[in-house]
Structure 1
Amino acid sequence: MNEVADVMTDPSPKYGRDHGWHASFVRVNTDSVGGWTSERGLVDSNQFDAWIENFLVPYANHLKTRGLYLVLSATGPMVVNIDGDQSKNTNQGTQERMMTFWERVSSAPGVKDADNIMFELMNEPVMIESEPGNGEYGMAEPIYFERFTKWLQPIIDVVRDTGANNVIWVPTLEWQGSPHQWLDYPFTGENIGVAVHYYPAYGGVFDIPRKVLDLWGRQYRQVAKRWPMIITEMFWTPMPDDPRNLVNGTTEGFGNSIKQIIDDEGNVSFMIGFIGDLLDDLDESRPSEADLSEREGAQAYFDWMPELAETSIRSYGYRPVPGRFEAEQYESMKNLRVESNSENFSNRHIAYITSDSWAKYLIDVKESGTYTATFRVATDVQVDNDILIKDGSGKTLATFTVDSTKTNAWQDWYTDSVTIELSEGKQELTLEFKGDSEYLFNIDWIELEATDI
């Protein structure tokens, strides 16, 4: 999974094109989670906590290193299918499991308030009972839309009751194809958007541009104008032998039409296909060695990458100086990773720093003058290594030396400072790392404060 993230954020030319991938988020379905079974739900709390600590948090940290968001979508053992019918999946049993899952996940150190982890509360709710326990399942009618809001709101609330402010994406009934339900029966809460799916089979639009546009206008557009929207499943390729006909469409008919819609909306994020739809031969090849799929959706998505990269710039913006900023909140970097602090998984730092690697930041200096640059650093090597502080022109403003006698482990932190001269205004600051060991040091944060001289 880490290698897939590396490939999907590598802009170097691939597959005979003059560009690479520029993905901005990864969606992970919880089809298999430690401590959970489909039959009984949560059966081992310790194993579930270990899954969060040993898989979810490190994976999210790797995605952070690559500039990626994680959309975590609850499915698999969190879902109870009545009588084995996967369409009867929005029920009391599923609600109970979802509340248990999201309460523990959203309160976990390293997940709670992590700025690149978002929660898609459920994958593809389909039908719901008109009243809890009456066995009368349905969809596409107001009685079921209203009931779904009452069913989902407690799951939203259990997340917010933990104090977590991660972005929440709420799904819809009908395989996430009826977002218009939220207009009449809205959810409540802040920092929440709507997660939808859009396939050629939805509404029978297939390859007819007019129908693609009409369906969007009826069921999606007004929701996208009211809340942020994310399309977490969408794909197309001519596939007349598909029994469900789910993805049967072409780029000319379906793909270009949906892209026109998304471009016009300006408030819709999207992904196209699963990784197996985009890359060929993953059973036989590493992701970095796999070819681009010949499927039309994969070809179009890759061709759109340069344009998408220009319209989805990720930035922390200009950090005010005087002030402190986290080392992992860089604009760009070379050859380093993001890790969680052992003292508190909710705090992160940059690690695996090698000589000649670097990290760039944007700062906005209140006034020209002399500033103290303080670093919180740690190392486990027995030699001193350096941090070169450079301005946007590449001029070295100062050198901070990490003193190996003041720290004895990779997270045995100490602080120290150097002075630098900064000019007023917005500018780029680069930290360039130099040394003789394989890995040099870790950096937790940097603080720039005016010096009285």
Structure 2
Amino acid sequence: MKRIFTLITILCALGAGAQGVKPLPSLHTEGRWLVDKHGNQVVLHGVMDTPSNYFNGGRWEGSKALGWWDHYNDTGVTNCLAYFEKLFKGMEKAKCDVFRLHMDPAWTNDPADGYVYAGSVGQASDASGEADIKKFNPERYQKYMPQLYLKLAEMAMKYGMYVVVRPPGVCPHDLKVGDYYNQYLMYVWDVFSQQEFVKDHAGQISIELANEPVNLRNAQNQDDPKALHDYFQPIVNKIRENGFTGIIWAPGTGWQANYTSYATYPIEGDNIGYAVHDYTGWYGCSDANPDPQNKIEQFHKQVPVVDTNPIIITEVDWSPENPSAQGHYNEHNEWVQPNYGTWSTGSTSKWGKAYKAMLDYYGNISMTLSGTGCLFDIDKLLSTGNVYPAFNGLEEACGKACMDWYAEYYTVNYPHADDEAETGDFYTIESLKADQESFDLMIGDKTKILLNVLYRDGHTKDISDVATYEVDEPSVVEVKKGSIRALANGEAQVQASYTDVQGIIWKKSFVVKVTGLDLGALTALSSLSDITDQPFAIVNKESQKMFYGPENQNLDMGDPLGVINNKSISGYMFKAEAISGRDGCYLLRLMTLNGSEYSVYGKPGYLNSQPTTGWCSFILGLNNQNGEDVKDGAVWEIKYESGKGFTLKNMATGKYLKDAAPAKYDAPAYFDFLKSSVTAGIHKVERSVDNDAVYTLQGIKIATLQQWDALPRGIYIVGGKKKLK
């Protein structure tokens, strides 16, 4: 939902003092929104910080009883709290209303040389830095929980900020369900969620379960779309058993950039959101490619739960290139140009513009910058008591941009006092409006209903997620959380209802027409003999992936495949996946370029959900688009040459997988050949791999194994598999 700023809204908000309500109102989730007790939608903006003298620039110290580095003792607690109170005063002046607190492991680590945490058994030998939990001491964690961490949370709340709490340290690179780190997180959150202060402030304190998982597999150490759910759901269950009812933020993999599996296997329960990270170059957006629409679409592909749950971006920053500074490699082994002191390099007028467009488009995304120093100048705050944008107010950096944005956002989507009377123009609805009142969908389509109520004071509210829906033909469409899914051919009436705080029921009706690709006769692709009278065309690739279209159409790719059942399929592509328990059989699914999918056989599943080590499995494209080997990321080019058939070329190796069609192209003979070849069954063909070559994740050959030691640190593809250096 795009924010609507009206003069009436702004004046009313300013007149009421907008935010700054104390005591801090309680928050919970409704659909994809954070809301206060009255159902008003809330979006939060602030910063992250960590109570570490090192990361705090040496601005406070401990007693140094054990040496110059020892700041993490009772004296350090006093000094650290005094320092952070000054920061919180600055954050309040900078219009922050959320603070991400890292329970820094500097306090939980045992300084004794011989100490080893018993729960670290199973940790990889190369784990280092904050991913190394060998020094974690449960006694120190329990000691500094009430003395420091909860005092910081209480102090932040006193200055008008909700608190998102992150566990000590960062995730190791490779995780699997039930591993030692899974148990470590279970312990951390078990202790935290038992604290009475935490439970008493469940409406103000929320939990971010982990920081930056990278690779996460199931208990058998296999790729599994349910692994994220299975890793974090037991922790959520334990937190709820302990009586904490507040919001829990679940992370994704890929350094908190991949949430696709949650669309099918979400974290279950109430008050669930998802914590995401975003830096320049992520989600297909950078200064070199700052297209807002592309950013919006790519974010949705990687974070589809933005449609169903609140999102908070808990790390983001940027500043422009600074030739006099020093660059670095980021998590993805991509070179980051030197900048003014942020993790990522980008400009507000380019990347930042697309980033803000994404925030405003979805509306339900909160954020915290990666550090206090990314928002304002800390030393100027300490010396003057005033806030000035970081990086000397540089227009192209995140400090100046976010101070401006936070001031703008401060007057909208803010929480109201728990005991506020639900009367007056702010709570009086005048109308219910829908973006559209009819839908023409194809089977498998999923689209959002956009319903907004307009209040008398001029502000609007998206009630799509919280409205109730009645469908007269549930076999044709279903509606969940404001999203329509087309199930079968036909027409249905959908009625939405919403009851406001005054007890008035508002209603809106929709007509939904559904048509589709009627390939119901197609069951397993191992037998097509029963549909030979239907128009179809088959691309005979190494595992017999198929395109459908009119039989009498020229298969020269100049005019590919036209229509199916009077529906244009221009811009569509098919993908196939193994059917569990039926060796050699594939599920065929039609995809649009915007990510919509249509299941041809059975329910949509996950490509490569079954182990396929050593075998190819492709997403194939039309119109000379590239196909993708989803197993290892290699890029494949598909071409058709008249008289020769189709070819599939691995762009990394330059090698072809040969088409088995007759040498001389002849449509009737080609169809006869295809019918006979697929009726006999679909067979996987093992792909040869150049085991001596080293490729980038983009499929570009850059070295041989003999040159491995000379390569910079990063992730590469060797022998068809990812390899970390």
What range is the shorter-chain TM-score in? 0.5 to 0.7
Aligned counterpart, 2:410: 309
Offset of residue 130 of structure 1: 4.2
SS at 1:209's partner residue? coil
Aligned counterpart, 1:251: 348
Alignment of 1:337-356 (within 5 A): none
Q: TM-score with structure 1 length normalisation?
A: 0.60
Once the two structures are superposed, what CA deviation does each residue of 1:39-80 show, in whole Å capped at 9, x if it has no partner? Answer: 4365343x333312111222222222111111001141xx56
SS at 2:154's partner residue? helix
1:119 and 2:119 correspond: no
Offset of residue 88 of structure 1: 2.1
Offset of residue 181 of structure 1: 2.4
Q: Please give the alpha-carbon distance, in whole angstroms, between the structure 2 residues aligned to 1:252 and 1:259.
A: 10
Aligned counterpart, 1:43: 137
Q: How many residues align?
A: 295
Offset of residue 289 of structure 1: 5.7
1:99 and 2:186 correspond: yes
| 1:273 maps to which of 367, 370, 377 | 370
Aligned counterpart, 1:209: 290
SS at 1:195's partner residue? strand
SS at 1:145's partner residue? coil
Inter-CA distance 117–233: structure 2 relative to 1 (3 Å threshold):
same
Inter-CA distance 123–44: structure 2 relative to 1 (3 Å threshold):
closer
Is the CA contact 1:26–1:68 (under 8 Å) kept in the aligned structure 2?
A: yes
Structure 2 gap segments, 5+ residues each: 1-83, 111-131, 331-335, 337-342, 423-725
The code of the aligned residue for 1:201 comes to G
Q: Which structure shows the bigger proportion of residues in helix conformation?
A: 1
| 2:401 maps to which of 300, 307, 316 | 300
The code of the aligned residue for 1:304 comes to W
The code of the aligned residue for 2:97 comes to S
Q: Let me know the Cα RMSD of the aligned residues.
A: 2.7
Offset of residue 299 of structure 1: 1.2
SS at 1:194's partner residue? strand
SS at 2:198's partner residue? coil
Q: Please give the alpha-carbon distance, in whole angstroms, between the structure 1 residues aligned to 2:365 and 2:352.
A: 15
Inter-CA distance 108–261: structure 2 relative to 1 (3 Å threshold):
same
Aligned counterpart, 1:218: 301
Once the two structures are superposed, what CA deviation does each residue of 1:168-195 show, in whole Å capped at 9, x if it has no partner? Answer: 0111111110122210221111111111
Q: Which moved more, 1:270-279 or 1:110-119?
A: 270-279
Aligned counterpart, 2:90: 7
Is the CA contact 1:282–1:290 (under 8 Å) kept in the aligned structure 2?
A: no
| 1:53 maps to which of 146, 162, 169 | 146
Q: Please give the alpha-carbon distance, in whole angstroms, between the structure 2 residues aligned to 1:320 and 1:312.
A: 18
Q: Please give the alpha-carbon distance, in whole angstroms, between the structure 2 residues aligned to 1:311 and 1:255.
A: 21
Q: Please give the alpha-carbon distance, in whole angstroms, between the structure 1 residues aligned to 2:405 and 2:380.
A: 26
Is the CA contact 1:27–1:71 (under 8 Å) kept in the aligned structure 2?
A: yes
Aligned counterpart, 1:406: none
Q: Please give the alpha-carbon distance, in whole angstroms, between the structure 1 residues aligned to 2:297 and 2:420.
A: 44
Once the two structures are superposed, what CA deviation does each residue of 1:64-120 show, in whole Å capped at 9, x if it has no partner? Answer: 2111111001141xx563xxxxx2256611110101110110111211241211100
Alignment of 1:393-408 (within 5 A): none
Is the CA contact 1:80–1:93 (under 8 Å) kept in the aligned structure 2?
A: no
Inter-CA distance 307–181: structure 2 relative to 1 (3 Å threshold):
same
Inter-CA distance 189–175: structure 2 relative to 1 (3 Å threshold):
same
SS at 2:390's partner residue? coil
Alignment of 1:162-181 (within 5 A): 162-181=242-261
Is the CA contact 1:212–1:254 (under 8 Å) kept in the aligned structure 2?
A: no
Is the CA contact 1:239–1:247 (under 8 Å) kept in the aligned structure 2?
A: no
Offset of residue 282 of structure 1: 4.2
SS at 1:118's partner residue? strand
The code of the aligned residue for 1:164 comes to F
Is the CA contact 2:199–2:244 (under 8 Å) kept in the aligned structure 1?
A: yes
Aligned counterpart, 2:17: none
| 2:166 maps to which of 56, 73, 79 | 73
Report percent identity of matched pairs. 24
Offset of residue 291 of structure 1: 4.2
The code of the aligned residue for 1:227 comes to N
The code of the aligned residue for 1:232 comes to T
The code of the aligned residue for 1:61 comes to E
Offset of residue 209 of structure 1: 2.6
Q: TM-score with structure 2 length normalisation?
A: 0.38
SS at 1:269's partner residue? strand
Aligned counterpart, 2:555: none
Is the CA contact 1:4–1:288 (under 8 Å) kept in the aligned structure 2?
A: no
Is the CA contact 2:98–2:164 (under 8 Å) kept in the aligned structure 1?
A: yes
The code of the aligned residue for 2:150 comes to V
Q: Please give the alpha-carbon distance, in whole angstroms, between the structure 2 residues aligned to 1:280 and 1:75.
A: 26
The code of the aligned residue for 1:126 comes to V
Offset of residue 287 of structure 1: 8.5
Once the two structures are superposed, what CA deviation does each residue of 1:21-41 show, in whole Å capped at 9, x if it has no partner? Answer: 111100011222644454436
Offset of residue 199 of structure 1: 0.9
Inter-CA distance 80–200: structure 2 relative to 1 (3 Å threshold):
closer
SS at 1:9's partner residue? helix
Is the CA contact 2:233–2:268 (under 8 Å) kept in the aligned structure 1?
A: yes
SS at 2:210's partner residue? coil
Offset of residue 272 of structure 1: 2.7
1:238 and 2:339 correspond: no
Q: Please give the alpha-carbon distance, in whole angstroms, between the structure 2 residues aligned to 1:39 and 1:297.
A: 33
| 1:24 maps to which of 75, 85, 97 | 97
SS at 1:63's partner residue? helix
Once the two structures are superposed, what CA deviation does each residue of 1:322-372 show, in whole Å capped at 9, x if it has no partner? Answer: xxxxxxxxxxxxxxxxxxxxxxxxxxxxxxxxxxxxxxxxxxxxxxxxxxx
| 2:217 maps to which of 108, 129, 139 | 129
Offset of residue 253 of structure 1: 1.4
The code of the aligned residue for 2:271 comes to N
Q: Please give the alpha-carbon distance, in whole angstroms, between the structure 1 residues aligned to 2:312 and 2:298.
A: 17
Q: Which moved more, 1:98-107 or 1:179-188?
A: 179-188
Once the two structures are superposed, what CA deviation does each residue of 1:393-419 show, in whole Å capped at 9, x if it has no partner? Answer: xxxxxxxxxxxxxxxxxxxxxxxxxxx
The code of the aligned residue for 2:216 comes to I
SS at 1:253's partner residue? helix
Inter-CA distance 231–287: structure 2 relative to 1 (3 Å threshold):
farther
SS at 1:97's partner residue? helix
